[in-house]
Structure 1
Amino acid sequence: MQCKHRPSFCLSLCASAFLMACCQAIWIQQAQAAATEEASRISKLVDSAVGFLVAAQDDDGSFSKDAGTGVTSLVATALLRNGYSPEEPLVAKSLAYLRQFVQPDGGIYQPGSTHRNYETCIAVVAFHEANTDGKYDKLIANAESFIKGEQWDQAEGIEPSQEAYGGSGYGSHSRPDLSNTSFLIDTLHTLGRGDDDPAIQRALIFVSRCQNLATKYNDTKYADLNPDGGFYYTIAAGGSSQAGSEEDGGLRSYGSMTYAGLKSMIFAGVKANDPRVKAAFEWAQKNYTLGENPGMGDSGLFYYYHTFAKSLDAIGEQEFVDDSGKSHDWREELVAEFAERQQPDGSWVNSNVRWLEGDPNLVTGYALLALSYCR
């Protein structure tokens, strides 16, 4: 087909198209090179951490067993999610250790544990990640029944109108909390349970009541006192926040629980335009940081990194725009933070020992889990 315009105009069009194609090709090459470089950076961090864990693992396959089975489960899951197979000695030994604690009631915990629900939840995730050939099907099914049985609901005489309803706790039956309830939802989500699962919907009731936001889902006494959209530790047993209280009695929101609440709502099927999700997202925009656990300083910092990464991964956006309009490549920034904080031996550890974050085995597990969402 002949060009109907002047030859010079046609040449100009061809040149422009060629230039655009070249620019696009260069941009694609640059993006691919950046992605390759980032993947290499993550791999180096992970490899160094694995070197530490090989030396830190006890002969029986455990990590920090004096703290229960939880650290071993968390580390095993982190390794599996970073590409290590169930047959790798480091992983296989951990799984063999955990199997010793499968109880007749389906739970996976040390006898006498006061954290049996928490320990079972994270053990189930580890076995699910390793269940490539169905060998753990029965174990997982029994454990799922156990953790659902631990949920606070009518089976314990708790009615939907009561503030503890739908929540999960450590397993000592003192009271449920948002952290353990988010572990329940995470576990069920990992097992492929949809937002129509009754246990997830019961849990959503509890999660919604731990938010500083008055909605039709939350008419608790704290909902209007500090309506910033963030989340606190628990509404049960009178309510409490690890970040403390306002002068009027309102419970302060903080980072790790707000991201735990946000991802729990997403996994429970709450849509982006729902007031609960919108308010939580806006809180995250106002408090975006990797320098601390917002509202808590360096307390629970690496637990915060894990919930931060899992929540933003669940949202599904590469870029996160804070309330000032600044765009963050949150994965790249988190990887850089971990590179800065990694110890010479490959581990990570928090100088603030609260919530066991002085244990490098636990903290390295948190870091590896967070990095698994950065790939």
Structure 2
Amino acid sequence: MRALFSLRRGLAIAALVAFCSPLMAADDRAAYDKAITSAVNFLASQQNKDGSFSESSPIGVTGLCAAGILEHGRTADDPTVKKALTYLESQVKEDGGIYAEGSNHKNYETSLAVLAFAAGNKDGRYDKLLAGTDKFLKGIQWDASEHKDETDPFYGGAGYGGHKRPDLSNTAFMMEALKATGNGPDDKAMKKALVFVSRCQNLESEHNTSEFPAKNPDGGFYYTIAAGGSSQAGETPNGGLRSYGSMTYAGLKSMIYAGLDKEDPRVKAASEWLGKHYTLDENPGMGQQGLFYYYVTAAKALDAFGEEEFVTADGAKHAWRAELRKELLGRQQADGSWVNETTRWMEGNPLLVTGYTLLALKHAQPDAGK
């Protein structure tokens, strides 16, 4: 009798879960769609007459915002998007780059504009423009043309542009832009970039024989190996470079884009570091600094990693897309925007941060990965 009761109770619970699951899924999708609509409306209301977004760094922010809108179903002919892309077209230079006159951020600006044009290029209308950006980005990569061979710490990396020191953040943006225009792991620029990315990891191997991994052998990533090495998270007491969240996700994403699989020791070490530091409360190692950059980089990296549940060091399984959606939707402002109270790296600019968040949510949408 007791067994029959338990069976009936189990069947009832199963039936209730089966009944409620579609409703919860529908509610999740409705909340997600509402958040996206509100964000897109916010951006449209803030667009300048010339089609740009933001008074500060308008090319990069415009590229980011346009890409974010395009990734959520709008087309290049949508009025807001069309104005933004027309503005970006007006900033194309003879060398193929898309940047402001005298800019110190040529790589960032061009790479973010590429994400927008690539997302809006469904009919090939931007093929010529994107061929120019491809040439430009490959031209600013440090290699033999800058008298750097594969033994040099600068080799394969990209900096802000104008022969600035290469770093992992700029290199990751460049690689993502190259991937968006069809460059795969066999592309020479991607292979060269992997050399630089591997040297920004705290992992001793044939790919990284610098002094730093032995001083902090945790498998995470830091900002740059070039020019003596540097980490935004600072140094360990023995002179090692501290790993931190956003750069470790950037490293993981870039390695996957360059063709490494989950069995590669570099990928394993990065995922293990992230498993020990998995959180959505902060950018590990940096606190609230660069939090939304961390979110978008994490979303892209985990999507590329290809696991719907990310297993952390304690054995817990995290449905990371649902967790990230909940976190981001909970942080949305009443006007539809997102902003970081910790303003370093321009994250006090709601246009920039809303662009980041739209891209993050694209990779975390309810039906992604299915």
Q: TM-score, normalised by structure 1?
A: 0.92
Task: Using the TM superposition, name which of 152-161 and 336-345 deviates more.
Answer: 336-345
Distance 2:255 2:197 in 1: 8
Distance 2:56 2:161 in 1: 18
Task: Using the TM superposition, name which of 294-303 and 119-128 deviates more.
Answer: 119-128
Alignment counterpart, residue 311 of structure 1, candidates 301, 306, 312: 301
**1:328 and 2:339 correspond:** no
> 1:13 corresponds to which residue?
none
> 1:149 corresponds to which residue?
139
Alignment counterpart, residue 339 of structure 1, candidates 315, 321, 329: 329
**1:256 and 2:249 correspond:** no
Please give the residue correspondences for 1:162-311 in structure 2 after superposition, counting only pairs within 5 Å: 162-311=152-301
Please give the residue correspondences for 1:105-184 in structure 2 after superposition, counting only pairs within 5 Å: 105-184=95-174
Checking the alignment, whether the CA contact within 8 Å between 1:318 and 1:329 is kept in structure 2 is yes
Task: Using the TM superposition, name which of 123-132 and 282-291 deviates more.
Answer: 123-132
> 2:64 corresponds to which residue?
74
Tell me the amino acid that sits aligned with residue 71 of structure 1.
V
Tell me the amino acid that sits aligned with residue 234 of structure 2.
G
Tell me the amino acid that sits aligned with residue 268 of structure 1.
A
Give the superposition deviation at 1:89: 1.1
> 1:373 corresponds to which residue?
363
In structure 2, relative to structure 1, the CA distance for the partners of 1:31 and 1:153 (3 Å cut) is farther
Tell me the amino acid that sits aligned with residue 61 of structure 2.
V
Deviations 1:263-298 (A, max 9, x none): 100111111111100000000100000000000000
Give the superposition deviation at 1:24: 8.8
Give the superposition deviation at 1:67: 1.5
RMSD: 1.8
Task: Using the TM superposition, name which of 185-194 and 164-173 deviates more.
Answer: 185-194
Tell me the amino acid that sits aligned with residue 151 of structure 1.
Q
Checking the alignment, whether the CA contact within 8 Å between 1:167 and 1:207 is kept in structure 2 is yes
Give the superposition deviation at 1:221: 1.0
Distance 2:54 2:298 in 1: 25
Give the superposition deviation at 1:39: 2.0
The number of aligned residues is 358
Tell me the amino acid that sits aligned with residue 27 of structure 2.
E
1:55 counterpart SS class:
helix
Tell me the amino acid that sits aligned with residue 300 of structure 1.
G
Task: Using the TM superposition, name which of 110-119 and 33-42 deviates more.
Answer: 33-42
Checking the alignment, whether the CA contact within 8 Å between 1:117 and 1:147 is kept in structure 2 is yes
Tell me the amino acid that sits aligned with residue 289 of structure 1.
T
Alignment counterpart, residue 352 of structure 1, candidates 329, 333, 342: 342
Checking the alignment, whether the CA contact within 8 Å between 1:349 and 1:359 is kept in structure 2 is yes
**1:56 and 2:46 correspond:** yes
In structure 2, relative to structure 1, the CA distance for the partners of 1:188 and 1:287 (3 Å cut) is same
Deviations 1:200-245 (A, max 9, x none): 0000000000000101100011021101000000000111000000
**1:362 and 2:352 correspond:** yes
Deviations 1:71-106 (A, max 9, x none): 000000011111111111111110011010011111
Checking the alignment, whether the CA contact within 8 Å between 1:310 and 1:373 is kept in structure 2 is yes
Checking the alignment, whether the CA contact within 8 Å between 1:68 and 1:113 is kept in structure 2 is no
Give the superposition deviation at 1:30: 5.1
Checking the alignment, whether the CA contact within 8 Å between 2:114 and 2:180 is kept in structure 1 is no
Checking the alignment, whether the CA contact within 8 Å between 1:65 and 1:72 is kept in structure 2 is no
Identity between Structure 1 and Structure 2 (%)? 55
Tell me the amino acid that sits aligned with residue 168 of structure 2.
L
Please give the residue correspondences for 1:91-110 in structure 2 after superposition, counting only pairs within 5 Å: 91-110=81-100
**Unaligned segments of structure 2, at least 5 residues:** 1-6, 366-370
Tell me the amino acid that sits aligned with residue 132 of structure 1.
K
Checking the alignment, whether the CA contact within 8 Å between 2:52 and 2:58 is kept in structure 1 is no
**Unaligned segments of structure 1, at least 5 residues:** 1-15
> 1:9 corresponds to which residue?
none
